Chain A
Amino acid sequence: MNRLRRFLRTPEAIAGALILALLAAMALAAPMLFPGDPQAIAGPALLPPFQDWRLPLGTDRLGRDVLAELFHGARTSLAVGLAAAAAALLIGAVVGTLAGFAGGLIDEVLMRITDAFQTVPSFLLALALVSIVGPSLGAVVAAIALSAWTGPARVARAEVLSIRERDYVAGARVIGMHPLEIAFREVLPNALPPELALSSVIVAAAILTEAALSFLGLGDPNRVTWGGMIAEGRTVLRTAPFLSIVPGVALVLTVLGVYLAGEGVVESTAVRRSLS
């Protein structure tokens, strides 16, 4: 409770939390508010927004309801963002902890692999992966995770390097705990807070990467995605700009919300650390 109060101290954090809550509500409510296929043809094509109360945001080139697509798109964006970030954090934390705790040759090898991944521009890596495996939601998540785990790995390693010299780790060694057990039960949990601070950046980047992949036609074509909606709207940008603007604004707000909430988390943990 205390932590939540500390989190909500800054206006940025409140704004971020509000946006995220709204987004989560949109994603959760989508199947209730817009049951059935969001890609079903619902009305005349290219209906501008605010003309018909049943289709408040108008329709796209095939006559699909933009509002329904927006709500269902929120599901895809959030699902991909969270899943990819979770996977990236998991891979990063494991690799970083192993490298930092083991040291020596293992550290060298794991860190060079991390370097190798870092030298390839992450979007290019995702692009290559998806075009090889074929566009599907799983492939997109895997591709984003694979290109985003290097940051958490480096952060985790740095934390672990300092934690492993602490007394309680030495103590665990003395009582004969298995090194792996020490690494993952004693060290990793204490290395997590800075990881979590990094998570907001990763979620935001993942949502943007997913949108960019969909924009380039490499998203899952059987799902509504905001990036795909922008790409669809681009061909009629001059005649029906709202088709690109609506999902574009949603994307900006989402990324902004994630960043602001992330900032809030960083602030609150920073305060806690300085107090301790």
Chain B
Amino acid sequence: MSELTISRRGLLAGSALLLASTALPTIGFAQTPKKGGRLVLAADSKPRNLNPAIVASNGVFFISSKIVETLAEASFDGKDGLEPRLALSWEGAADGLSVTFKLRDGVKWHDGKPFTSADVAFSALQIWKPLQNLGRTVFKDLEAVDTPDELTAVFKFAKPTPFQLIRNALPALSSVVPKHIYENGKIEDNPANNAPVGTGPFKFAEYKAGQYYRLTRNDAYWGKDEPYLDEIVYQVLPDRTSAAAALEAEEIQLAAFSAVPLADLDRISKVPGLKVITKGYEGLTYQLVVEINHRRKELADLKVRQAIAHAIDKDFVVKTIFLGYAATATGPVPKNDPQFYTADVPTYPFDVAKANALLDEAGYKRADDGKRFALKLLPAPYFNETKQFGDYLRQALAAIGIDAEIVNNDSAAHIKAVYTDHAFDLAVGPPVFRGDPAISTTILVQSGIPDGVPFSNQGGYKNAELDALIVKASETLDTAARTELYKEFQKKIAADLPLINVAEWSFISVARDTVGNIANNPRWAVSNWADTYLAG
């Protein structure tokens, strides 16, 4: 036990040092930001619903986080990795049944009406809990939000809810929308979903379908002297290869979310006036995962799953597919997570001979044509990298005598095939780690999830011990004990392999040198950009 305490303290100290070091460059480069100017940047997705309170996804945040603010934002150096936005402070009760938020004074909605605790109560009870894709899980026990005064909101939970989870959920899940605009009529059909009204540094100005989104400066923003920019224009460039050309031609000043293909980064980093930035996405880690259908007799055998894990050369994946802009994974929590990650889990080094031996042991001998059995492999179509990994995995499996047939689908068909019809043996998926395993990670392995829930355990995996651990962690209030349970969770997954974590990656920004205050928080691309400026 004492050993554990020491290692945890060591880890905390280590991560604190890391955090401190990330803050250094920003201090070193501090210069007075210039006011004014229009930032033009590349946007590749065209979300129809821009309400981040309903659709908590990065594609929506990328645009609407500048308009609609959350209670708190992620931060490199703030306490618990948070920085105040609409809330100034937050405090959880010891019994886990309530959380009290003190709200910022003098904040106005874009239409001039004052922001109050009633807006927070409305957003939480009417939108986050019943409608939001992620809030449904995190706020499932939220019963009421008391508003003793205009600047205090007290969240009441029916069952004890870990404060750590609520805290970790704030940056992505707590977008506050105005009650007076949403209280009449059906929330999903409200016109403000397409032209959002918020408290943020920028106001929604217009959207020209297929061309651009334009945001203008909110002169009544609460931040002193902020925002610095007059306008933000999202130029819709659906073709990924055109972003690099547009940057070089100075048509755009910024391409976030890896709009410039990884293969072009080496060349573009040498172009004078452009910089490649790998920071600012620490809070948005995507995981490259092999999803497994445990209904297949062969795949229900742990030895076969171990063989597949041994057959994948993770270093090759990171080096060749991600060109080094990724890290190898050991389990369901990414290495860059400061709170939960543990390296103390079973690992599966690249070893084709061992993989072959495991398959022989499991009783799947090679037939005369050298093949053991055939599988259907469905790579998710969302990223080039997931598709390329699908091609790689097919070759890696061929080396151990498994004949994988790739089935390509578009996004909608892929989601239906994997998460509703279960018409797959292996799938390649990119789930997102959102700062706390309870937000969108435990759902990947938990049993009893109804068919059709995307990005959840639809592989028919059932492990009573793991299920019990997940439930226990969701009820454990003590932060240290809860963290310990999630370390146990990582060990169990790495040992039993309900899915195989291959790599973790994030995004890259490319910007002109003139764009200042880039990547100064772990969710920079989806934060409010109040302090972003254009020099010269």
Contacts and interface: CB of A to CB of B under 8 A. Distances in A.
Contacts of A221: 390-391, 406-408
Given A62-B320, A63-B320, A222-B405, A238 B267 contact: yes
Contacts of A45: 320
B406 A222 contact: yes
Interface stretch (A33-41, A83-91, A161-169): A33-41
Interface string A41-53: 1000110000000
Contacts of A103: none
Contact of A61 (B320, B395, B407): B320
Given A37-B395, A39-B391, A61-B388, A235 B407 contact: no
Interface string A230-245: 0000111111100000
Interface string A215-231: 00110011000000000
Interface in B370-406: 381, 384, 388, 390-392, 394-395, 398, 405-406
Interface in B319-335: 320-321
B408 A235 contact: no
A46 B263 CA distance: 10
Contacts of B244: 238
B261 A41 contact: no
A236 B395 contact: no
A240 B323 CA distance: 14
B398 A40 contact: yes
A131 B412 CA distance: 12
A68 to B, nearest CB: 13
A217 B408 CA distance: 8
Given A61-B388, A221-B408, 9 more contacts: A37-B395, A39-B391, A39-B394, A40-B395, A40-B398, A46-B263, A61-B263, A135-B408, A239-B264
Given A62-B388, A222-B405, A238 B320 contact: no
Interface in B242-293: 244, 261, 263-264, 266-267
A134 interface: yes
B514 interface: no
Interface residues of A, number: 23
B240 interface: yes
- Which size class do B's interface residues fall under? 20 to 34
For the complex, would chain A's binding face be called helix, strand, loop or mixed by DSSP majority?
loop
B241 interface: yes
For the complex, would chain B's binding face be called helix, strand, loop or mixed by DSSP majority?
helix
A64 B95 CA distance: 59
A135 B392 CA distance: 19
A235 B261 contact: yes
A240 B266 CA distance: 12
Contact of B241 (A39, A61, A218, A235): A235
B391 A235 contact: no
B218 to A, nearest CB: 38
B391 A238 contact: no
5 closest A-B pairs by CB: A236-B263, A221-B406, A45-B320, A221-B408, A239-B263
Q: Interface centre among A61, A63, A217, by most B CB within 10 Å?
A: A61
Contacts of B407: 134, 221
Given A45-B320, A134-B407, A221-B408, A240 B395 contact: no
A143 to B, nearest CB: 15
Contacts of B321: 61-62
Contacts of B267: 238-239
Contact of A37 (B392, B398, B408): B398
Contacts of B240: 235
A95 B406 CA distance: 37
Contacts of A131: 410
A135 B408 CA distance: 7
A39 B241 CA distance: 25
A40 B396 CA distance: 9
A214 to B, nearest CB: 10
A62 B392 contact: yes
Nearest to B261: A235
Q: Interface centre among A39, A41, A46, by most B CB within 10 Å?
A: A41
A239 B320 contact: no
Interface in B283-314: none
Interface in B467-492: none
B440 to A, nearest CB: 27
Q: Interface centre among A63, A217, A235, by most B CB within 10 Å?
A: A235
A62 B391 contact: yes
Interface in B65-110: none
A235 B240 CA distance: 8
A46 B261 CA distance: 14
Given A62-B320, A62-B388, A238 B408 contact: no
Nearest to B390: A221
Contacts of B391: 39, 62, 221
A235 B406 contact: no
A239 B395 contact: no
Nearest to B239: A234
Nearest to B313: A41
Contacts of A218: 408
Interface in A14-40: 37, 39-40
A40 B391 CA distance: 10
A201 B530 CA distance: 60
Contacts of B405: 222
A38 to B, nearest CB: 11
26 contacts: A39-B391, A40-B395, A41-B392, A45-B320, A46-B263, A61-B320, A61-B321, A62-B321, A62-B391, A62-B395, A63-B320, A131-B410, A134-B407, A135-B408, A217-B381, A217-B408, A218-B408, A221-B390, A221-B407, A222-B394, A222-B405, A235-B263, A235-B384, A236-B264, A237-B241, A238-B264
Contacts of B384: 235
Contacts of A240: 263
A37 B321 CA distance: 20
Interface in B407-430: 407-408, 410
A186 to B, nearest CB: 47
A61 B388 CA distance: 9
A217 to B, nearest CB: 6
A266 B381 CA distance: 45
Interface in A41-79: 41, 45-46, 61-63
B271 to A, nearest CB: 11
A157 B259 CA distance: 53
Given A40-B395, A62-B392, A134-B407, A236 B261 contact: yes
Interface string B6-41: 000000000000000000000000000000000000
A41 B395 contact: yes
A31 to B, nearest CB: 15
